[in-house]
Amino acid sequence: MSNMNNNYERIPQEKFEFVQMDARLHDKKIDTKFRSFFADAMLRFRKNKSSVVAAWILLFLILFSLIVPMASPYDIKDRDKLYVNFPAYVPAVAEMNLGILDGSKVYASQNEASMNYWRGIAEETGMNPVIKIVDTTTTLVKYRGKMVERYTYTIEANRYFELGCVYRTLSYKQFEELQAWQNETGIQVIYPYVESKDIMDITDNPNLWYEVTDTKGSAKLDADGNLIPVYSTRKEIEGAPYNSLRIPGDDGSYIYSIAKSGSVNVRVCYYNYYRYMNEGREPSYIFGTTSMGEDLFTAIGVGARFSLIFAVLVSAINLSIGAVYGAIQGYYGGMVDMILDRISDILSGVPFVVVTTLFQLHLAQKVGIVPSFLFAFVLTGWISMAALTRKQFYRFKGLEFVMAARTLGASDSRLMFKHIFPNAMGTIITSCALVIPGVINSETSMTYLGIVNISDFAGTSIGTLMSQGNAAVTSAPHAMLWPSIFISLLMISFNLFGNGLRDAFNPSTRGVED
Amino acid sequence: MFKYTLQRILYMCMVLLIITAMCFVLVRMLPPAELPPGDPHTEVVEARREALGYNKPYMVQFGIFLQNVFTKFDWGISDKLYFGRDVAQIFFEKLPVSIIVNLYSILFSIPIGIGLGIFAALKKNTWVDYLLSTATMIVISVPSFVYAFIIQYIFSYKLGWLPFLMKAGTDYFTWDMFVSMLPAVMSLSFGTIAGFTRTTRAELTEVLTSEFMLLARTKGLTKAQATIRHAMRNCFVVVVPAIFGSFIGVLGGSLIIERIFAIPGVGGLTINAINGRDYPIFMLTTCFYTAIGLVASLVVDISYGFIDPRIRMGSKK
């Protein structure tokens, strides 16, 4: 008998034969098409209309953040010093007078004097800052014993034109280059100099080129109601020879610069000077500019790109750590589980803001701000993922297929990652879709509060943009509006998308509908 | 139950102690705040630091720290922001504002949130429900500083009804103060309302479909009676712990909202301490926030056992 037992493993192959090689099975053949788990989930996901819409919006936002920083003519480092917190303006659209993208700002209670000031800019530079007069109010005022009608206007002004002329100090070489550019393009940048002695000693207003009656810069009109130019013709103070475009009405006597210790001081029309500085491009800001003078459109793209990449990276790392940690906890259970659970209990008890701060204080000098920010996220971020994996492992580890695999001699790691883990995969991946918006939210909050400043690394971030915008809520609401809209849309669509995925993948809802 | 609660409290204290120790060591590893050169207090500060064990091993320092905290409630002296002032004293000056603003917010939002949740659950699968659920989803997703912006822009700037920032002063219960707190209270409320709506709706819809509800209707109760007497009580097993949790969360204030509306509360103090590198204050707020988080989760867990007799805590199966 014992002999026969020993030979069980060495039964010659030819002694085996199929029991039912020729027998026909009368079981009905499965004639429906095979559908995989993922295909099934996708089918259910597509039924959820709001999630599908969210997915499309999400795709759009992701593409926005990837394409805009590359396609935009502006770089995040392009910072204009004067176009700061300016409203949205696109020259081509502004010309159509649609009331949008025209860089407009409403100025209330403008009197005749300031209307003349606007007119001065319009007449000199040829760019009228006043888009339209929204409202005119008439008041009767007693003036020199008589009742006089006084008008006050509410106007909409183009902030880009309104800037008018500014003083710039150029070196002789720069001055010559600017003249050459003027000759080449035919755009008047340099305007004749006005001496402050001719305009009641006003030194801080480069837009006055006409005779004024008081130190506030009120214009003096001639008999026909025109402004009277007071351009300087004193050749002796001219800074450098000028051989370029002259403004209409110039007989060649006006001077275009004055000497200023080794350089020249000029009056330039800032709009055209901007074109000169930016290879002929007119200022064009779809969302307006930030308080740093960056293009808000580009800045949002740059900030969002960082947020998204960062969030995906954090989620991927947390997913890996959490999955392994949770797998070990769930698979081994008992003492191991308890000890590991205590560790994650302690780590999860530390407030996130404290973790971030401590990492910034200790590591930012050594490994940089962004890596230490990343570590802060990783330190506590994996805990929820680990808990999830652990739960799934407890659910699956007692099932028959695991026992079967164990009986066949599979090792622990094989059981964990080859047999149990793939079953938990759906739940883990879908929770990842809900982790990403959480990371973006925390990242935005931390940069908003200024605890972490990633501007040197990433250019800017949505949180930084919003905290800058919040400082000027009343004067430049657009600087807060667009980042708010972007981050809200991103969060809403991520959460809707994630919820849709979770519902689609959650096996407990399988077959519930229909 | 009592034994379980005691166990949990002891465990919580241990976790708190470990976290405090970790943070303490990490903070003390940083170079202490430098004093302005020629400062007349230099010697006093140096002596104080010597007494706190700045040159001794970290664990000895931690021992001194704990001893001071437990025997004299001495959390140290601020060495940057509020130079020379007792940290605990500053902290307790800031605490009431945070509590009041957050308390207004949750007193206002919990009834609304639960009410909307019940309404949505009762109208399940109608357009009202879909509308409320979508709105809840959207409101939960949007970060709080976006609400702050909307409220500041519309109510404070365009309409001019509310002030931009909170009024300075300590007259917390005057009408002016209440009005000046309103923007912050409103900004905080959106999220809380949406959270409670979602929880209540989810729980109540589940309870409403259970069999005992059918039984209640069968034995002759009207829908309203059945809902109030049977469904609501079961639904509150989940909602009430959440209420407890948010009442404890009230203490912590909100970092972002307090900053936007210039509320002189704990959240603002924390941010200032971090940005100004004031370590004693930072240490205190760290312990405070950690403790709040731990206590909140403990209370939520234990309250389940007290509210629902079916849940037996800590029993081995």
Are A269 and A395 found together in one domain? no
B140 contacts in A (CB within 8 Å)?
495
Look at residue B317 in the predicted model and tell me its pLDDT.
Answer: 39
Return d(Cα B241, Cα B1) in angstroms, integer. Answer: 17
Give per-residue pLDDT as tens, B15-31: 999 999 999 998 888 88
Task: Compare A2 and A244 and report the one with higher pLDDT.
Answer: A244
For residue A398, the domain's CATH number is 1.10.3720.10
pLDDT at B10 over 90: yes
Residue with tokens 């034994």: B3
Give residue A402's domain range.
Answer: 296-509
Closest residue of A to B154, CA-based?
A: A474
CB pairs under 8 A between A and B: 99
In 3D space, the residue among B94, B82, B86 whose CA is nearest the CA of residue B276 turns out to be B82
Give per-residue pLDDT as tens, A248-291: 777 778 888 888 888 888 888 888 888 888 887 888 888 888 88
Binned at pLDDT 50, 70 and 90, residue A507 comes out as: low
Are A152 and A178 found together in one domain? no
- Give start and end residues of each alpha helix (H) in A278-351: 296-332, 334-349
Are A425 and A313 found together in one domain? yes
Look at residue A3 in the predicted model and tell me its pLDDT.
Answer: 52
Are A156 and A260 found together in one domain? no
pLDDT at A172 over 50: yes
Give per-residue pLDDT as tens, A304-352: 999 999 999 999 899 889 988 998 898 888 888 889 989 998 998 888 8
Are A317 and A463 found together in one domain? yes
Give per-residue pLDDT as tens, A436-453: 898 999 999 999 988 888
**Tokens describing residue B311:** 């849940």
Last residue of a domain, one of A147, A162, A177: A162
Are A273 and A327 found together in one domain? no
Are A327 and A472 found together in one domain? yes
Percent of chain A's residues with pLDDT above 70: 96
Lowest model confidence (mean pLDDT) among A120-129, A341-350, A386-395, B264-273 = A120-129
**Tokens describing residue B236:** 């509150």
- In whole numbers, what is the pLDDT of chain A averaged over residues? 84
pLDDT at A75 over 70: yes
Which positions ≥6 away from A173 have C-beta within 8 Å?
A: none
pLDDT at B8 over 70: yes
Domain-by-domain residue ranges, chain B?
Answer: 2-72, 94-307
Whether residue B142 and residue A477 make contact (CB cut-off 8 A), yes or no, is: no
Torsion of CA A490, A491, A493, A496, to 10 degrees: 170
pLDDT at A1 over 60: no
**CATH superfamily membership of B94-307:** MetI-like (1.10.3720.10)
Closest residue of A to B255, CA-based?
A: A449
Are A352 and A469 found together in one domain? yes
Report the residue of B146, B279, B287, B290 to disrupt the A interface, i.e. the one with the largest count of A CBs within 10 Å.
Answer: B146
| B259 CA: distance to closest CA in chain A (Å) | 8
Please list the residues that pair with A269 across neighbouring strands: A165
Tell me whether A484 touches chain B (CB under 8 Å).
Answer: yes
Are A464 and A316 found together in one domain? yes
Q: Who among A441, A451, A481 is closest to B274 (CB)?
A: A451
Whether residue A499 and residue B137 make contact (CB cut-off 8 A), yes or no, is: yes
Binned at pLDDT 50, 70 and 90, residue B313 comes out as: low
Whether the ipTM is more than 0.90: the answer is no
A451 contacts in B (CB within 8 Å)?
271, 274-275
Tell me whether A450 touches chain B (CB under 8 Å).
Answer: yes
Let me know if residue A80 belongs to a domain. no
Give per-residue pLDDT as tens, B101-160: 888 898 989 999 999 999 998 888 888 888 898 899 889 889 888 998 899 888 888 888
Last residue of a domain, one of A215, A247, A277: A277
**pTM for this model (two decimals):** 0.85
Look at residue A4 in the predicted model and tell me its pLDDT.
Answer: 52
Look at residue A490 in the predicted model and tell me its pLDDT.
Answer: 92
B153 contacts in A (CB within 8 Å)?
473-474, 477, 480
Give per-residue pLDDT as tens, A88-112: 888 888 888 777 888 888 888 888 8
Let me know if residue A71 belongs to a domain. no
In 3D space, the residue among A200, A199, A190, A196 whose CA is nearest the CA of residue A168 turns out to be A190
User: Chain-centre distance of CA B135, in angstroms?
Assistant: 24
Last residue of a domain, one of A243, A277, A311: A277
Whether residue A466 and residue B145 make contact (CB cut-off 8 A), yes or no, is: yes
| A127 CA: distance to closest CA in chain B (Å) | 30
Are A304 and A388 found together in one domain? yes
**Structural domain total, chain A:** 3
pLDDT at B260 over 80: yes
Residue with tokens 């079916």: B310
Q: What angle do CA A296, A297, A302 make, to 5 degrees?
A: 90
Let me know if residue A390 belongs to a domain. yes
Are A306 and A446 found together in one domain? yes
pLDDT at A511 over 50: no
Percent of chain B's residues with pLDDT above 90: 11
B150 contacts in A (CB within 8 Å)?
484
Let me know if residue A368 belongs to a domain. yes
Are A394 and A491 found together in one domain? yes
Let me know if residue A106 belongs to a domain. yes
Look at residue A308 in the predicted model and tell me its pLDDT.
Answer: 92
Tell me whether A449 touches chain B (CB under 8 Å).
Answer: yes
